[in-house]
Structure 1
Amino acid sequence: MRIAVELIKSGDGASVWSETYDRELKDIFAVQSEIAGAVAKQLKVALLGNNGQAAQLAAAATPQNIEAYNALLQGNFHFYLRTADDFRKAIGYYEEAIRLDPRYALAYAKLTPPAVNLVTGFGHIATKEKEEAMAKARASAKSALALDPNLSEAHLAQALILELLDLNLAGAEAEYRRALELAPQNPHTINDLAILMAELARLDEAVALAQRAIALDPLRSTFHYALAHFLVALGRYDQAEATLRKAIELQPTSAQAYAELAIIQILRGNPGAAAELAKQETDPFWRTYALALAQSANGDGAEADAALKRLIEEIADESDSQIASVYALRKEPDKMFEWLEHACNTHDSGANELLSDPFLRAYKDDPRFIAFAQKIGVMPKTAPKP
């Protein structure tokens, strides 16, 4: 196996340093550590402090079994496809990595997110499977922390448990920030913390974090989408639209982008334009939701009712919080709160967006809104209304 590594100045393309490594495949992890150390030395960057701490942490997260590493990579592949079946496959591959290397802390940490997603993102999944997924999520996060308390991904796993299963957002924030201390330049951790800040209505912090994540990984369309979502919540529609257009440019089939553009047009008072944008949404779930919003905003009772009926019939098991948003736009608060309660009972993570959803927030003066916000942990019990 031959690996060529080169550092290039971004300004003029000049080569700063290069090296070629000829090694046996069985030594891949040693080569990985060697290359990382050489690059860090050339950059003169001290990661996580001096005295080799970064190298020690990297070594702790590295498996001794290449088959375990391959299983982890396959798990990563399926995780990012983000369907229920792919989450199941990801869990299976991470479990295989753990079987092959029982002390592989990173594999335990990686197992938690797909397990949590099965619980919070798919209402149609049977109760027994959800209970099993919750148990796996908790056990794997606990094992990851026990095996390597200095592994950033282990703290990320625990943050997900606290945020989405335990509704302990203060505890989740502490875990996210610990994860960032251990890996300050991880854009995914930064973006996850930004989402939590938005859930807590700390939108300026959310925007700053999202911009930081984009600076580290400017080609990740989901980071641009997250920033746009926060900007919409702040009423900065022009900036949000430009950011969404960038997300679409980076990934034309990116889910939710056109749905969010439709929401911007609704908020601007242009339901007709919103409907046209909703039709361009690439994801069926978000297209159905955006059309229900647009038709409701358009004021045509028959079409609006039909669109809402489609939303409920086609994807009610996975869209409790979105159905609540449509009822909010339709000015039917009793139905809105009914669906929010259902979202909470089914661990629908969309309920956490209560304080940033522009349609739900219209009811911030309703005592039921404050009570629900406190119930799900996005507002302290002693806090004033937003």
Structure 2
Amino acid sequence: MYLHLTEEDNTTRYPALNQVTDSPFHLWEDKSKDSSMLTLARGILSDEQFYIIVLFIIYTSQLINICAVIANSLCITVFVKLGFSEPSNISLTALAVCDFTMAVLYTWGNLCSLLTYHNIRLPFHDLNVTFLTGSVHWTFLSSTVAWITAFISFERCLCILFPLKVRRLITPKGTVIAMLIILLLTFCPSFFIYIRYKFVWVFNPYLNVTILNTIPVDSEFAILFQKISVVICGLIQPLLAFSIVLICTVLLVVQLRKISSWRMSVTSAKNQRVQPEESPAASSSAAEARISQKEERLVRMVVAIATIFIMSYIPTYVGLLCDVLFDRFNLFGVYRRLYIVSSYITSLGQPFSGSVNILIYYKMASKFRSVFRRLVRLNRQEQERHELE
């Protein structure tokens, strides 16, 4: 529901709404006459350094996000053509949909920042509105991506540890239910942020226009609810999911090495035409290692996806840790410019992770590669047909 504030409300109840912009390019500055305090308030980076670095990162991020949108669109199309009889296709499709949505939300925020930098007047407050329509949902959706990756890694662990029972444990129906539960617990709480903030139409006397802005709801319940949801869904859940992905990836790598060693020993025995005697313990280990080559390729693909996820998300969690440990290193601290630059840099990893998954699928999944090639050929044939007409 949109509200309309009078000019009196703008100047008395919410004076901050009259600020022209609070984008990353136009930060609140300390008006102190003391030059040393002014330098400290601005942080280590100078004005020119800050603008150049942020602008370069935003353009780089925008390019990566466009690649992520295109790549995940192709992934979704290929998985739909492959069908959802395999549980792995369902979870990988859910991962691609989340990566696609994150890339779109991030592109939206970057676009508004770039338009503001080039002095293009927007009909809304760029930072506040994109915070509610993009940044919040993007942050919560990153938790969804983390949990889907954790589920995929855990599923592959079960396939290796219990190869004969896993088909009864992991079914297409169960995978769909798991994806819906993950979505409900991780992404849906982001919409509760609208309990804490509301959209309003505000008259800006400096620009002589009415623009869309947001105001906080001064309610103890809303503030408490926001803090709880951000801590649980924005901090605890991603860290827990990251830990599960890390543990499952280590287990998968160890088990893959056992499988490779067992297959090399079997191949060596066949070449020598001598069957070595195996102890009961070795026979049990070999039985666990006997999974199909198709399953082994899928496990390797999951390990690659999880490894890229871990490498991409580590900088984000390091940034969160620094935010907790250092009081001055935050958006409103004395080193806010350095904080903003580091936040932009660490956030590049997540869209990068979503954009390179298609290369992993194409390299390691033969069915995906086959359908992808047919899809590209069909597109080319249609283009040639249109050109001839």
**TM over 0.5: same fold?**
no
Q: Say which one has the larger Rg.
A: 2
Task: Sort the TM-score into its range (normalised by shorter chain).
Answer: under 0.3
Q: Which has the higher helix share?
A: 2
**Greater relative contact order, per chain length (Cα 8 Å cut-off, separation 6+):** 2
TM superposition score normalised by structure 2: 0.22
